[in-house]
Amino acid sequence: MFGYMGKILRVNLTTNAITTEDLDFELAKKYIGGRGLGTKLYMDEVDPKIDPFAAENKIVIINGPLSGTATPTGGRYMVVTKSPLTGCIASSNSGGEWGAYLKYAGYDAVIIEGKASLPVYINIDEEKVEILPALDVWGKLVTEASDILREKQPGSKVMTIGPAGEKLSQMAAIMNENDRTAGRSGVGAVMGSKNLKAITVKGNLKPEIADAEALKAVTKECRALLKENGVTGGGLPTYGTAVLVNIINEHGVYPTNNFQGGVDPDAEAVSGETMTEKYLIKRNPCHHCPIGCGRWVKSEHSPDGIGGPEYETLWVFAGDLGINDMDVVIDANYWCNELGLDTISAGATLAAAMELYQRGFITDEILADDIALKFGNPESVVHWLKKMGNREGFGDLLARGSYRLADFFGVPEYSMSVKKQDIPAYDPRGIQGMGLQYATSNRGGCHVRGYLISPEILGLPEKLDRFDLAGKEVWAKAFQDLTAVIDSLGLCLFTSFAMGAQNYADMINEVLGTKWSADEVMLAGERIWNLEKLFNLEAGITKADDTLPPRLLNEPMPEGPTKGWVHKLDELLPLYYKERGWDEDGIPTEERLKKLGLL
């Protein structure tokens, strides 16, 4: 079996049973790995109606066939489970090194089931797999817990949850290598619900490659493409994703004060240019990554610096809160990482809380005269993040995310979310295709399920009119399907700024010994998208959930280059369903499912 290690590890935390199973190679090829195969393995074993926190729920942690190979960025892994935030399928991706190390330990996936009676961690060292007590790290922040576990298991990579996951915040993340995050959809809380603090992993095994020489040549070609490309060889390495602050703001789609506005005159203070000039110490790349968008920045938390914020984090703790202070953002990012919180949802929840405060739903009395949750108040940010992560006082309500918070006050419309997951950093009123993708994303509000910012704003691979609806359903489907492939291979999405379906097909073919065309690769992506959709339908998600916050549909953007626009979802959604071969209620037709091999 080429590419894969051929083994799945199963750990039952109720019975302490640890077993391994052979990977079905045909099944693996059909769903590729990562997000696709993880969803298939999960769906074959778990009822979509399950309570995400039930002991019967499972977590599939899975790398891809290219993880741990020499291919660029092949170090990622995916966490698949049912989301406690959205009720949809959650597949949350992280970089760093952990995904590659799972492969070096000899496994394509770990399936975690049951619930431990006391806090535990799992140690994986090739064939030696143990469930070990974690009482000494339970309650600890991410860096401290990781340091302790690294000392106990020298040479291991550590993935862990923080206090937010232990306390079942629906926004809890899983952290690895301290500052890499499987951030979205509350996957950390599912780990916490199983009393599982961490997984340490190491090993020295390598996957067999079908044609190692040919892979070398293809990898060289792909690396050259990444190097020559202005984005992956220039903008991202030099400025990180933070370089987006200015370009998104200049287009008037940089949401401010919980999407009440779209332009921030002071955004420069948190821009990539400012970060590079004043805060950057060095790049902080993931495993085998020639791009190196990750930042290592100055901070009072460590003389050596700490992991720096991404664009979406900068936006949410700056523009979306009406604050423009890089130190506040770096601090907020640090605390989210330490508490194990998704920065996007945590920040967006603060933004929703601030709007509820602005409109008189949250009062000083409700906050027991604690620091006011007021737009523009920098002191409120880390103060309330800590309370959120530790579920203290009003922080307990914040820990449930913006939708549940706003719904508690009877005004869910102030949550800028789709399927209860916050939408990030790009106002869909001025990016019609992106709005369609937000509304139809299988894991709720999310920018990395189909990054239409590329063609609509950044001009990649070509510039589209961002207000025009024509053809946006075709672009949305194509981007969503290709993204599903990349997420399943174990590679970073940012490679797609320089590479296309054929490049991915070439790498897969040399690793697996297949002869896939670019079209077959895209078909696999479509299969994965439809599989996720089937899960969501069975979980009770309907057409009514494929929508955007009412503000974005009804309130014209008040200012800037997007002034006067709303999102025209009602026109785009039927076109999208049709493009996908779904019926008018957004249900995949029998014909399409047969074509995809899902029936």
Residues paired with 428 in a beta bridge: none
Cβ atoms < 10 Å from Cβ of 579 = 16
Candidate list 310, 331, 481, 532; residue touching other proteins; CB under 8 A: 310
Q: How far apart are CA 503 and CA 521, in angstroms?
A: 10
Q: Is 290 exposed, middle or buried (0-12, 13-18, 19+ CB in 10 A)?
A: middle
Candidate list 79, 116, 171, 293; residue touching other proteins; CB under 8 A: 293
3-class secondary-structure state, position 489: helix
Q: How far is the CB of 246 from other proteins (least distance, A)?
A: 5
Q: What secondary structure letter does DSSP report for 182? A: E
Q: With CA atoms as reference, report the closest residue to 90 among 199, 196, 6, 174.
A: 174
Question: Measured on CA atoms in the order 464, 467, 470, 471, is the torsion positive or negative?
Answer: positive
Would strands 280-283 and 295-299 be described as parallel, antiparallel, or unpaired? antiparallel
The two most distant CA atoms of the chain are separated, in Å, by 69
Q: How far is the CB of 344 from ligand SF4 (least distance, A)?
A: 15
Q: Which is nearer to ligand SF4, 48 or 285 (CB)?
A: 285
Residues paired with 466 in a beta bridge: none
* Footprint of other proteins on 423-452 (CB under 8 A): 447-448, 451
* Binding partner of 235, given ligand SF4, other proteins, none, CB within 5-8 angstroms per partner class: other proteins
Tell me: does residue 485 bind ligand SF4 (CB under 6 A): no
Q: What is the DSSP string of 54-69?
A: STT-EEEEE--TTTTS
* Binding partner of 291, given ligand SF4, other proteins, none, CB within 5-8 angstroms per partner class: ligand SF4
Tell me: does residue 556 bind other proteins (CB under 8 A): no
Tell me: does residue 155 bind other proteins (CB under 8 A): no
Residue with tokens 């008189």: 360
Q: What is the DSSP string of 421-453?
A: EEPPS--GGG-HHHHHHHHH-TTSS-STTS-TH
Q: Which is nearer to other proteins, 406 or 464 (CB)?
A: 464
Candidate list 117, 208, 212, 230; residue touching other proteins; CB under 8 A: 230
**How many of the chain's residues bind other proteins (CB under 8 A)?**
42
Contact 162, 155 (CB under 8 A): no
For other proteins, what does the binding mask look like between residues 449 and 478, x meaning CB under 8 A?
Answer: --x-xx--xxxx-xx-xx------------
Would strands 89-94 and 109-113 be described as parallel, antiparallel, or unpaired? unpaired
Q: How far is the CB of 170 from other proteins (least distance, A)?
A: 23
Q: Find the helix or strand (DSSP H, E) in which 91 lies.
A: strand 89-94
* Binding partner of 238, given ligand SF4, other proteins, none, CB within 5-8 angstroms per partner class: other proteins
Tell me: does residue 237 bind ligand SF4 (CB under 6 A): no
Between the CA atoms of 416, 160, 200 and 50, what dihedral angle is there, to the nearest 10 degrees?
Answer: -60
Q: How far is the CB of 285 from ligand SF4 (least distance, A)?
A: 4
Tell me: does residue 286 bind ligand SF4 (CB under 6 A): yes
Q: How far apart are CA 190 and CA 59, in angstroms?
A: 8
Candidate list 172, 293, 341, 398; residue touching ligand SF4; CB under 6 A: 293
Tell me: does residue 95 bind ligand SF4 (CB under 6 A): yes
Q: With CA atoms as reference, report the closest residue to 166 among 195, 137, 146.
A: 195
Q: How far is the CB of 182 from other proteins (least distance, A)?
A: 16
Q: How far is the CB of 95 from ligand SF4 (least distance, A)?
A: 4
* Footprint of other proteins on 241-280 (CB under 8 A): 241-244, 246-247, 250-252, 268, 272-273
Contacting residues toward ligand SF4, per CB under 6 A:
73, 95, 285-286, 289, 291-294, 492, 494
Contacting residues toward other proteins, per CB under 8 A:
229-231, 234-236, 238-244, 246-247, 250-252, 268, 272-273, 293, 310-311, 447-448, 451, 453-454, 457-460, 462-463, 465-466, 493-494, 497, 560-561
